[in-house]
Structure 1
Amino acid sequence: MLRRILAVPAGLIAGIICITIIEKIGHSLYPPPAAAGNGDMEAMKAYVATAPFMALFFVIIAYALAAFVSGFTASKVANNGKHTSAAVCGVIFLCITIYMMASLPTPIWFWVLGILVWGLVFAGSKLALKNK
């Protein structure tokens, strides 16, 4: 029972670490303005509206890797042979992603990919359950 409870936070932490690392790489290649990094939402909106494709695509890559790793980690920790913990992680991340996309002027392709990549939690979960 304790493993199933800890599985979701473990999956979320693993996903957040992936997002942080990949987004840091993206920001080093496509640096946002200093004001955007200081919590200035208007500066962030202006940056996202004019950001190059790859700057935004790094976020999608981060989401995809986070989904896979989060699903894998949650299923390994839960160790119950089910995808439930991975699905909970995916839903939580999906809600956060939708909130962020609604807050910033992201293009349609970003919405489509930003929603679809969270399905990768099941690929990570399947791999974790396969290697049981």
Structure 2
Amino acid sequence: MLKKTLAVIAGIIVGSICIWAIETLNHVIHPYPEDMKPNDMEGFKNYIENLPFLGKFMVIVGYAVGALVSGFVATKISKDEKPTAALICGGIFAFFTIYNMTVLPTPIWFWILGILVWILVLAGYKLALNKK
């Protein structure tokens, strides 16, 4: 049980790092407005609302990479033939993604992809089981 718990924690940490890295790159490409304050939620909502398609899509790409890596790492560490650890990671990430989408102005396509993308934890799980 401890091994599976640590596997999920490791999957969440590594997946979060992947998401953070891609979103950081996205903010380099699409920087915040210069006058936006760090804790200005209304300014951040305005930034998200006016972010071009590619800027929003990069967030989905970050989620996809995070899902794949999270599922892979969780499965490798748990050393379990079942996808339990990977699915728990995907569920946790999906929960936080849905929360973010409820507080930020996101279009319907982002909602659909933002939820579906977490199925990629199963691709990471399959890759981790591949012995070749």
TM-score range, shorter chain: over 0.9
Instruction: Report the equivalent of 1:112.
Output: 112
Query: Cα deviations across residues 74-120 of structure 1 (Å, max 9, x unaligned)?
Result: 00000011100000000000000000001001001110110110000
Q: Equivalents in 2 of 1:37, 1:85: separation in Å?
A: 38
Stretch moving more, 25-34 or 84-93: 25-34
SS in 1 for 2:82: coil
Gaps of 5+ in 2: none
Provide the C-alpha distance between the structure 2 equivalents of 1:36 and 1:121, rounded to a whole number of angstroms: 35
**CA offsets 1:4-47 (integer angstroms, 9 cap, x no match):** 12100000001010001100111100112246561211011111
Aligned to 1:64: 64
Matches within 5 A, 1:35-54: 38-54=38-54
Q: Percent identity?
A: 53
Which runs of at least 4 in structure 1 moved beyond 3 Å after TM superposition?
A: 34-37
Q: TM-score normalized by structure 1?
A: 0.94
Unaligned runs of 5+ in 1: none
> How many corresponding residue pairs?
132
Residue pair 1:35, 1:43 contacting (<8 A) in 2 also: no
